[in-house]
Structure 1
Amino acid sequence: MNLNEATKENLSFIINDMADHLQVVNRSIMDPEDYDLEKYDELKSLHDLIKQKGRLSVSETEAFVQELASNRRK
């Protein structure tokens, strides 16, 4: 899978992968339909950073979730 392409399938994959990695219990806040494809590059950067960091502290996890929330459609 080439995640460098901004497609709905790739967007769905990175959102779901981040939800798994962040261990998000309330998956409704991580619904791929709530994110615009226009924000793909920003979301992919967050995904890459999460994957690079590996284990996250509680405060880092909260920060990532807040950043994702700011990228959701209003």
Structure 2
Amino acid sequence: MNLTDKTTENIEYMITQITTKLKMVNAEAIKAANYTEEMYDDLRDIYEMVMKKNTFSPNEMQAIVEELGNIRK
């Protein structure tokens, strides 16, 4: 997938991958519809960081979710 394009489909893909990798029970709390192309670069940074790691501490997971909350519309 080419994530250089700021598209709704890429936003949906990244959100899905992040929630899957973090094994979020309540993935519905983070919906792709809550993110716009304006915040695409920030979302992509979070996505790339999450994809690089294999495990996350509870504090890291909380910080990621908080940051996702900060950048949503």
**Residue type of the alignment partner of 1:47:** Y
Distance 1:37 1:30 in 2: 16
**Runs of 4+ that moved beyond 3 A:** none
Aligned residues: 73
Contact 1:39 1:71 in 2 (8 A): yes
For normalisation by structure 1, the TM-score amounts to 0.91
Superposition CA RMSD, Å: 0.9
1:1-74 equivalences under 5 Å are 1-73=1-73
Q: Which amino acid aligns with 1:55?
A: T
Residues 20-66 of structure 1, C-alpha deviations (whole Å, 9 max, x = no match)? 11111112221100111110010000000011122111110111001
Structure 2: segments with no counterpart, 5+ residues:
none
> Distance in 2 between the 1:44 and 1:60 partners?
17
Identity of aligned residues (%): 32
The code of the aligned residue for 1:10 comes to N
Q: Give the Cα separation in 2 of the matches to 1:10 and 1:23.
A: 20
- Note if contact 2:7-2:37 (Cα within 8 Å) is conserved in structure 1: yes
